Structure formats: structure tokens, C-alpha cells
């Protein structure tokens, strides 16, 4: 298994940071409008865009219907992929994208934000109001759809995904894990110095994506929403760190 340090170095590269900052400037007006509409800061939208498809350059060349039909027959989760196939057919039937243009990853994730068809049907937005929810080619729809996913799952506008902390050597390692949720007061009683960036009523977790002995973060609701996008602490932490760098 790849280490978190190596994974992070693949996600947060100097070229991705440079291009991401350029994209924030290039689309500043549009991103600010979407930020006001959905309450999701621009740097998270761009961080997810950059991580998933290198800012739209690598959104996949596999035919989505063909991929999902194959997976519905051959994969170890046939029921899941059958439902995704039906959702994909519905998307085409609605006229959002032609069968020929509907492409994505080998696993059926589509467009510049890599939505599975079921996520597309829930969260994709026609932000430019041209009658199509186009996450393949229309930048406003890509950004708004990403923001809608985060917002609809409860994104907290004025809170970070997480902050780095420095536990003492005798900190109880059994308290580390994203599924262990405790109050801000609880963590402070256990010696963690957490800045005043979270709501006092927020439930927080302590994670060490690199494993014991590596960097430690206190994370909240926004981190858990990134996990809903991709259920990997590597992914959620790397996206959060990339967003932080894009903001700075």
C-alpha cells in the first residue's frame, strides 16, 4: 500500500498548485458567484477539480454506458453498478449529454468532477441555464455541481476541513480515528491546543493519515463531507491541504 506521504506528493505538486492558483484568478468572478450561492469557498471547488481531473484535462475516455454494463455483469457489486447504469441511461434520455460524448473513468465516474451517475442525478446543476447539466464541458456547471454536492451534505462555510495539532507523547492512541467523534472541550481536556476555528458545538475527530508518528489533524464536518465524496482519509486530507495552499 502506498504511504500517505507519497500519495500527498502526487496530489500536491508545484505544477498543480501553480495551475490551481491561475485557475482561481481566471474564473474568479464565476467562482465568487458560486461561493455566494452555495456557501462553499472557491479553493475547495478548485482543489477537488484539480485532484479529480487535473483541472478538466483528464476526465476519462471510457464510454460510460459500456463501462457500467460491463461492471454490472462482471464486478463484485453487480446490483450497485446496475443502478448506476440505469441512472446513466436516464441522464442520456433527459438530453444532458449524447451517448457518444458521455465518457469518464473505467468505473463510470463522469465529467470534470467525476460524479457517478447517481451523484450526478442528485447534485449536478445547470448553472448557466442552457437546459443541460453539463459536467463534461461547461465550467459553470462543473463548479456549481461540485459546490452543490458539498453544500447539500452540510458544508460549513466558515470552518476549515481541519487543523494540525501536536499531541503529547502520552496522548491516548485509541482516540485517533475519524469515527471517534468528541466535543471541542473533550479534546482540549486531553491536551490538544485547537485554535478557535470550529463551532463550540462541533464534533471533532483526530486523524493521522500517515500513521502513528506522523502529522496529526483535528477534523470536523467538512472533512467528513470530503469523505462522502471519496471515502479515503488520504484523499480527504490531501484535498484539504491542497485547498489550504490554494488559498494562501
Q: Which of 154, 184, 212 is the last residue of a domain?
A: 154
List, for residues 120-130, the tens digit of each pLDDT value.
Answer: 999 999 999 99
Dihedral over alpha carbons 139, 9, 120, 179 (to 10 degrees) = -140
Check whether residue 59 and residue 130 sit in a common domain. Answer: yes
Same domain, 185 and 223: yes
Q: How far is CA 83 from the centre of its chain?
A: 22
Kindly state whether residues 219 and 129 are assigned to the same domain.
no
Instruction: Note the pLDDT tens digit of each residue in 17-53.
Output: 999 999 999 999 999 999 999 999 999 999 999 999 9
Structural domain including 188 reads 162-247
d(CA 181, CA 46): 28
Q: In this predicted structure, what is the pLDDT of residue 213?
A: 77
Question: How much is the pLDDT for 248?
Answer: 73
**Among candidate residues 137, 154, 171, the one where a domain is terminated:** 154
Residues of the chain with pLDDT under 70: none
Domain count, the chain: 2
The verdict on 147 and 168 lying in the same domain is: no
Residues 157 and 204: their CA atoms lie apart, in Å, by 16
pLDDT, residue 12, reads 97
Say what the pLDDT of residue 190 is: 94
Same domain (yes/no): 144, 38: yes
| Residue 233 and residue 209 in contact, taking contact as beta carbons nearer than 8 Å | yes
- C-alpha cell of residue 50: 484539480
Alpha carbon 111 to its chain's center = 14
CATH number, domain of 193, equals 1.10.530.10
Final residue of a structural domain among 131, 154, 177: 154
Amino acid at each position: 500500500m502506498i504511504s500517505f506521504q507519497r500519495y500527498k506528493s502526487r496530489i500536491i505538486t508545484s505544477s498543480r498548485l501553480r495551475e490551481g492558483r491561475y485557475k482561481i484568478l481566471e474564473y474568479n468572478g464565476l467562482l465568487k458567484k458560486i461561493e455566494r450561492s452555495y456557501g462553499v469557498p472557491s479553493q475547495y471547488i478548485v482543489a477537488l477539480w484539480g485532484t479529480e481531473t487535473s483541472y478538466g484535462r483528464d476526465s476519462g475516455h471510457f464510454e460510460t454506458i459500456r463501462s457500467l454494463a460491463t461492471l454490472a455483469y462482471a464486478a463484485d457489486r453487480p446490483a450497485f453498478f446496475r443502478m448506476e447504469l440505469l441512472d446513466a441511461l436516464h441522464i442520456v434520455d433527459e438530453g444532458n449529454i449524447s451517448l457518444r460524448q458521455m465518457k469518464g473513468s473505467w468505473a463510470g465516474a463522469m465529467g470534470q468532477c467525476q460524479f457517478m451517475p447517481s451523484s450526478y442525478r442528485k447534485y449536478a446543476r445547470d448553472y448557466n441555464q442552457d437546459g443541460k447539466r453539463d459536467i463534461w464541458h461547461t465550467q459553470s456547471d462543473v463548479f456549481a455541481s461540485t459546490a452543490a454536492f458539498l453544500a447539500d451534505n452540510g458544508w460549513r462555510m466558515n470552518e476549515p476541513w481541519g487543523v494540525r495539532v501536536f499531541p503529547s507523547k502520552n496522548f491516548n492512541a485509541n482516540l485517533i480515528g475519524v469515527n471517534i467523534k468528541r466535543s471541542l472541550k473533550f479534546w482540549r481536556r486531553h491536551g490538544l491546543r485547537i485554535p478557535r476555528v470550529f463551532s463550540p458545538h462541533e464534533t471533532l475527530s483526530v486523524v493521522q493519515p500517515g500513521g502513528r508518528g506522523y502529522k496529526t489533524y483535528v477534523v470536523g464536518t467538512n472533512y467528513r463531507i470530503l469523505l462522502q465524496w471519496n471515502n479515503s482519509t488520504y484523499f480527504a486530507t490531501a484535498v484539504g491541504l491542497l485547498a489550504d495552499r490554494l488559498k494562501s
